[in-house]
Structure 1
């Protein structure tokens, strides 16, 4: 004995007609049932969902054809030339439907589309073509863009194919969908950045921006071997609000994207912007050319701390079987004084102490050949690099203790974090790849929206009535 269920679909037309369509049947044994017979299997559920999708899509094509059969200009009835099979990929699988082609009307000397624009002359037209020109539903395009912005295109294609049962989904198709939405996002961001009105209703009292750059390996057919990528994050009143990125080497485009990110955070020209970077003047100029009120430049403490740690890691080392020279203990005290002087913004004292430390380690490296000789040489190299860094950036060395009490950002750790999270995890460190400049740029636009939680919003703007899968 067994149980059988028949699933039927009723279509209610505008004229009152009701059509019943059978989707499929499900049968289960009753007496000798096994645990695997309980409920619906995933394969059966996908088969029923695909049948439902195909039936609904075909009925929509019939209804849309009846609504668009008459000429939009003269109202003449256009006859059908033929019906052709078409394949569409959806989030529930691949469907096969019949699409009509109608004979074009000759009422106008130049053919016009539904918007009144001149289009190419064709003897036959396919009204359904404007709905799905790429034969892919927005839901499937969203899944491709979301997973393509998260991981590699090949792994994203495998995940989306397993999720939607679309067997012919290639990594190049995932790339095309990701690049396509990236181009759309850039167009919207360019319109926001080029405009003059703030895009946020509530104006921010203060904004903090961390900006940095990195280098990616270019595709072999590019004119350059490596190219620079600029990225950063904006915090509004202590909370991360917006990210931005630009890979195209065009300063105007980078400024427009930074301006769009600022406006989305509620930035009017009167708002004070605090910019934190690693001391490079080029990164800071991207903001100063946009915002009239920018905080005074400040060398970030993160890079200073990294260079101080490089000295400490070798200077504070010990050998269990060799006596430690006295000069190392004295240099440890000098290192602590250097750190205290830099923290208080005393650049001249810090430079002199660093010069003393470097000279002491250089002399010690020439004296000894055992463990402490190479250790002193390593410490000398690290101290010399810190000395050069301080001499080049002494003008923007500030009192970090006072700046921190005032609520300013003293470290570019947020910028380093956004570089790792936004770029390195997807494009360089964890996945060694070579990129075209445009491909990397548009992928970053999609990834920025994904990490900010606004990728679905972009699809809603592009496709009205969009429903997230």
Structure 2
């Protein structure tokens, strides 16, 4: 069976151009030969793309051959070739250079018309595909994936994809406003006049660690902390955010923009759940007058569980003391569960003193004492953020950042730490976090459509044509 595929282009000036694109000779009696093969499809798409881009570039240049003021034809100085990288191949585009008209006051004597069209030599959709997939899997796998399913150029490599991802992230970073210590707006009277807000917003923030590219002075492997969060709005889509605390200069502004995209008003309830760390807690300070800061119950119980394990070890050496210690820990947990830190702190202080007075041969007693002292400091520093967890739980309100723990695993663990053995610089990790969080919460494509409005138009046109066909 002989199959001929032709391309027909109707130009804006009325000219019609057609050409045979590809001829295939395919049998009809073999299952593996039914339909286009992947290689045939990539070859076909590459040929069509080259013809379409060439026709569009020629149409654009044809509008510049005459002076726009006096309509005098412009003389050609020469031509060069622009290589335009698209998802369907690298397309060479002939770019003429023209002499300016005598009536043109511009400083340069010549110009290239296509310079105004090809401001970037990478198609926006190619940039989007590279950024999306490199945010999900390694740069090398991204290259292999794109080369497997699309007729991309042979020169595409991991370094190119990484540079393009950094460029996209840096462009998004440049759109952030200036950092501010306080983001509370308006007076109480002005806030009282605001319309009724949507449902409450819950924001959870936690940290994780990734491998650093540079070792320490002694040549040992080091890590640095990244901060990850998830904002859950009752009536809007969930959003992720991430940053490298020791690198980012605008952490509060970044969170503010996430909340603004979710429609935050100054009279809207918002709850921040954190692990109580200073760096994590400070990012949410003075974000809204209606904000409630809650210490994550999970981190409290996690510390109490560790102390409970030490108590079980102590029982092998001093059963009576261990039993009393266990009773005190249970009492402390009950006070904290009901938000009664005023009663919990004296109990913690008493237990810490009791542990200092214990004479035992338990080998981990020093670690037990240290853990108790650290727990005392932890609760003291975060006492003002300890609510009545029992009451919140009864009313179905969140008391734990368990959803953020999964977010850390999703955002950081699966791309930075677990199976990916890469080492990261702080700028590289920070830029990757920006594109990865947007990819995961579905806001990367809308951002590209904001930068390149034609992408949204193409998407709408395609949907309309499918609806009509159906």
State the TM-score, normalizing by the size of structure 2: 0.80
Bigger CA drift: 339-348 or 52-61?
Answer: 339-348
Q: Contact between 2:317 and 2:360, CA under 8 Å: does it hold in 1?
A: no
Q: Does 1:298 align with 2:294?
A: yes
Aligned-partner Cα distance in 2 for 1:195–1:331: 45
Q: Which residue of 2 aligns with 1:181?
A: 168
Tell me the SS of whatever aligns to 1:445: helix
Q: Does 1:266 align with 2:252?
A: no
Aligned-partner Cα distance in 2 for 1:262–1:74: 53
Aligned-partner Cα distance in 1 for 2:263–2:333: 38
**Equivalent residues in 2 for 1:156-235, closer than 5 Å:** 156-165=142-151, 166-190=153-177, 203-214=197-208, 220=214, 229-235=226-232
Tell me the SS of whatever aligns to 2:92: strand
Residues 251/406 of structure 1: CA separation in 2 closer, same or farther (3 Å cut):
farther
CA RMSD of aligned residues (A): 3.8
C-alpha deviation, 1:53, in angstroms: 1.1
C-alpha deviation, 1:457, in angstroms: 0.8
Aligned-partner Cα distance in 2 for 1:341–1:407: 20
Q: 1:219-264 CA distances to partner (integer Å, 9 max, x unpaired)? A: 54999x8765443222223876222333375786222222211111
**Match for residue 413 of structure 1 among 381, 399, 402:** 402
Bigger CA drift: 373-382 or 129-138?
Answer: 373-382
Aligned-partner Cα distance in 1 for 2:185–2:367: 53
**Match for residue 112 of structure 2 among 113, 126, 132:** 126
Q: Which residue of 2 aligns with 1:309?
A: 305
Aligned-partner Cα distance in 1 for 2:52–2:298: 58
**Match for residue 8 of structure 1 among 6, 9, 21:** 6
**Equivalent residues in 2 for 1:304-453, closer than 5 Å:** 304-316=300-312, 325=319, 327-354=321-348, 366-367=360-361, 373-374=362-363, 379-406=368-395, 408-453=397-442
Q: Contact between 1:81 and 1:102, CA under 8 Å: does it hold in 2?
A: yes
Q: 1:101-160 CA distances to partner (integer Å, 9 max, x unpaired)? A: 32333433334xxxxxxxxx2x44322233333322111111111012112222222222
Q: Which residue of 2 aligns with 1:118?
A: none
Q: Which residue of 2 aligns with 1:278?
A: 275
Q: Which residue of 2 aligns with 1:20?
A: 18
Aligned-partner Cα distance in 2 for 1:179–1:149: 11
Q: Contact between 1:361 and 1:377, CA under 8 Å: does it hold in 2?
A: no
C-alpha deviation, 1:43, in angstroms: 1.1
Q: Which runs of 5+ in 2 are unaligned?
A: 463-470
Q: Which residue of 2 aligns with 1:115?
A: none
Residues 338/289 of structure 1: CA separation in 2 closer, same or farther (3 Å cut):
closer
Q: Which residue of 1 aligns with 2:41?
A: 45
Q: Contact between 1:202 and 1:266, CA under 8 Å: does it hold in 2?
A: no
C-alpha deviation, 1:422, in angstroms: 2.2
Residues 228/327 of structure 1: CA separation in 2 closer, same or farther (3 Å cut):
closer
Residues 195/129 of structure 1: CA separation in 2 closer, same or farther (3 Å cut):
farther
Q: Which runs of 5+ in 1 are unaligned?
A: 112-120, 368-372
Tell me the SS of whatever aligns to 1:421: helix
Aligned-partner Cα distance in 1 for 2:358–2:215: 51
Residues 7/398 of structure 1: CA separation in 2 closer, same or farther (3 Å cut):
closer
State the TM-score, normalizing by the size of structure 1: 0.80
**Equivalent residues in 2 for 1:73-84, closer than 5 Å:** 73-84=69-80
Aligned-partner Cα distance in 1 for 2:179–2:364: 55
Q: Contact between 1:365 and 1:374, CA under 8 Å: does it hold in 2?
A: no
Q: Does 1:138 align with 2:134?
A: no
Tell me the SS of whatever aligns to 2:403: helix
Q: Which residue of 2 aligns with 1:70?
A: 66
Q: Contact between 2:247 and 2:427, CA under 8 Å: does it hold in 1?
A: no
Q: Contact between 1:216 and 1:227, CA under 8 Å: does it hold in 2?
A: yes
Bigger CA drift: 383-392 or 152-161?
Answer: 383-392
Aligned-partner Cα distance in 1 for 2:97–2:216: 43
Tell me the SS of whatever aligns to 1:58: helix
Q: 1:247-303 CA distances to partner (integer Å, 9 max, x unpaired)? A: 3757862222222111111112222322222224554443333323322x4332121
Residues 150/350 of structure 1: CA separation in 2 closer, same or farther (3 Å cut):
same
C-alpha deviation, 1:25, in angstroms: 0.6
Aligned-partner Cα distance in 2 for 1:196–1:56: 51
Aligned-partner Cα distance in 2 for 1:59–1:263: 43
C-alpha deviation, 1:405, in angstroms: 3.5
Q: Contact between 2:244 and 2:429, CA under 8 Å: does it hold in 1?
A: yes
Residues 172/133 of structure 1: CA separation in 2 closer, same or farther (3 Å cut):
farther
